[in-house]
Amino acid sequence: MTAVRTHPQGTTPPPRLPVREKSGAREHGGALSPMLTRLAAERATGVLERERGSLYLAEGRVVHAESPLAPGLDVLLLAHGTLAPAVWQDAVGRADEEYGAARLLLDAGRVPRGALELCHLQTVYDAAYFALAPSSSPGHFHYGAGHWLGALRPVPVDVVERETLRRRELLDRLWPDPLTDGAPLRRSDAVAAPTPTARQSAVLALADGVRTAPDIARELGRQAFHTLVDARRLAAAGLLTALFPPPRTDRAAAVPGLPPRHAFARSTGTAAAEPSPGITLPRVNDPDITLLKRLRDALEAL
């Protein structure tokens, strides 16, 4: 086999095209949050509050997760008629430290255990994806705090982190610009674009330049991550455009129908703080950079 020289002898070769960085967590043993790993090792019980969401632990395992960017369990159960709104509200209103809302629903036969556990697991992975995102502020752990839903099927921390990493890498392969995850989305016209699927058409119908992907997921009664996948595929096809995001607001306060997080907490009054990473990566807002990324990906695929 003959080698082909790509630059004259004695000259400096051109710089290599940039490639996607591998996940730092994958290179360092898969830990997205060192504090979460330590809490799992010590079998801690409480809630880890981070910038974009919270993870509830019981004896070192994740029993619930929530984020203002991910639809809650109520959205998944009520959107497609699995559970009546009045039944859900009744369970939430009667829940206490001994009987969480999940146990009340199961004991009353209001929902099959399999359906409830499946929807809850989807909620955990969905919210954990956002809660474990890189942040510019440290997280805090409140020992002894619990959630009004109660425990269903605990998930090991390493399983939650591994699934979060897998989702990050999938989204990066589909479309490397994360702006579509949180910015307002608007439908755009593309020449010779592929025909969208039924799921994607539902997303396009709500892309009005105001709604974000999490907003669309909540209105459709779908998981946020699945909507992020649809949005990135549509952006890659040229059918969807992410607009510059408006000034940041406290989205957590705008989520309706959620009882106080620690309504049934037995907190020790102490909280451990997670060290801040100290580095905030800038958002990629420049459309020219987005175009260069698409060219880079095309060259890498050759």
Has residue 11 been placed in a domain? no
Q: What crossing angle do the helices spanning 113-131 and 157-174 adopt, rounded to 10°? A: 70
Distance CA 56, CA 146 (A): 7
The amino acid occupying position 126 is: D
How confident is the model over 265-279, as pLDDT tens digits?
544 455 666 655 543
Which of 19-23, 71-75, 232-236, 244-248 has the lowest average pLDDT? 19-23
* Matching residue, tokens 């989205």: 251
pTM: 0.75
- Listed in order, strand segments (DSSP E) in 127-281 are 140-143, 155-156, 185-187, 240-242, 271-273
Has residue 89 been placed in a domain? yes
Instruction: Please tell me the total count of domains within the chain.
Output: 1
DSSP state of 10: T
CB 71 within 8 A of CB 124: no
Has residue 18 been placed in a domain? no
Could you give the C-alpha distances from 51 to 48, 224, 226, 250, 251, in angstroms and in order?
10, 17, 22, 11, 11
Based on C-alpha coordinates, what's the Rg of the chain? 22
CB 244 within 8 A of CB 183: yes
Has residue 239 been placed in a domain? yes
Has residue 199 been placed in a domain? yes
How confident is the model over 17-31, as pLDDT tens digits?
334 344 444 444 446
Query: In this predicted structure, what is the pLDDT of residue 278?
Result: 44
Has residue 266 been placed in a domain? yes
Neighbours of 47 (CB within 10 A): 25
Structure token pair of residue 22: 């591998």
Higher-confidence residue: 16 or 34? 34
Has residue 3 been placed in a domain? no
Query: In this predicted structure, what is the pLDDT of residue 2?
Result: 41
How confident is the model over 34-68, as pLDDT tens digits?
999 999 999 999 999 999 999 999 999 999 999 99
Determine the 3-state secondary structure of 257 from DSSP.
coil
How confident is the model over 132-182, as pLDDT tens digits?
999 888 899 999 999 999 989 999 999 999 999 999 999 999 999 999 999
Has residue 126 been placed in a domain? yes
Distance CA 121, CA 62 (A): 10
How confident is the model over 75-114, as pLDDT tens digits?
999 988 889 999 999 999 999 988 999 999 999 999 999 9
Could you give the C-alpha distances from 228 to 12, 70, 161, in angstroms and in order?
42, 11, 18
Neighbours of 245 (CB within 10 A): 13
Look up the domain containing 266 and give its range: 32-276+285-301
Is residue 19 classed exposed, middle or buried when 0-12, 13-18 and 19+ CB atoms within 10 A define those classes? exposed
